[in-house]
Amino acid sequence: MNRIKGTTLIKIGTESLITSNGAPNFNIFSRVARGSAEIQEYGHKSLIVSSGAVGFGKALVPESAMEGKSTLAKKQVWASHGQHILIKQWEAAFNEVGFLAAQVLWTSNNLIKRSRRRDAQNFIDAELMLDNSRAVINANDTATTEELKNSDNDRLTGLIIRKIILPKPITLIFVTDVPGVFNKDPKINPDARLIPHIPYEDRHSFCIDTRCGSKKGGSGGMKSKITVGFLLAKFGVTTHIVSVDEPDFISRIMIDREPVGTTIHPRKPSNFKFYEDIRIAIQSFPIFN
């Protein structure tokens, strides 16, 4: 492989991976794996952040069987039953392109606590050296209810980018079941228009609550994706919000540089490089880790 020219995080939601009857949509797993392999030929390493465990588990274990238990406890059970299904799909999909799939279960503490973040950084550094492996990261919902209560994989993706030092430039692709961000909710407004570009400088005037989101089976929704996108834009990260139905969206974005869905553009390069250099220096210094 050529030298690493940047890192692409591909975050895909439950609604994009699951069929109407709760079964895995293997075609989607396969398309993402193929796109991830294609962009590596151009020097772009990628990490997969995948939801889906709770959704797959829910299709196996009926809620009625856990009558009287809290919603959080039920989700933990569903996650435990669905996690092995999720990684098996990714394993099969990446095997098609000659890759291995590495299962990574993290909580926010893996990235926030300094001692644990060092372990996470060491893992990512080693994993990115492998040309035939792809890390598939998911929130460890069975280990702690904190993730189920206060977080989702959209925010976990944002933490990875903010807390882990990755080869730059960094690109984030949110894969969802809607074409992107609209000027108003298209479910109730037939005249809603797709917004192809959102500059970081518009963050204060951009009314997130009026935008469309889909939460068919997941926990993030469009509001979470836009919020994370604006936060990361401050540090020079470009975020794309695209529909899973777009053909070859990964290679079109990363290789052809084609505008697909909605792009949240990063802060104009004035002071963010200075602050980013300071952030990396602090994280690299032993006393702060």
Walk me through the domains of the chain, giving residue ranges and CATH numbers.
6-288 (3.40.1160.10)
- The three-class DSSP label of residue 265 is strand
Instruction: Please report the pLDDT score of residue 287 as a whole number.
Output: 43
Instruction: Please report the pLDDT score of residue 212 as a whole number.
Output: 47
| Low-confidence residues of the chain: pLDDT under 70 | 1-2, 144-151, 207-220, 270-289
In one-letter notation, the amino acid at residue 68 is G
- C-alpha 188/C-alpha 289 separation (Å) is 49
| Alpha carbon 269 to its chain's center | 24
Instruction: Please report the pLDDT score of residue 213 as a whole number.
Output: 45
Instruction: Please report the pLDDT score of residue 152 as a whole number.
Output: 74
Instruction: Please report the pLDDT score of residue 189 as a whole number.
Output: 87
Instruction: Please report the pLDDT score of residue 218 as a whole number.
Output: 47
- C-alpha 115/C-alpha 159 separation (Å) is 15
Under 8 Å between Cβ of 73 and 144: no
> How many Å from the N-terminal Cα to the C-terminal Cα in the chain?
32
Instruction: Please report the pLDDT score of residue 4 as a whole number.
Output: 86
Instruction: Please report the pLDDT score of residue 276 as a whole number.
Output: 58
pTM flag (> 0.85): yes
In eight-state DSSP terms, residue 212 is -
Closest CA to 108 of 173, 33, 49, 45: 49
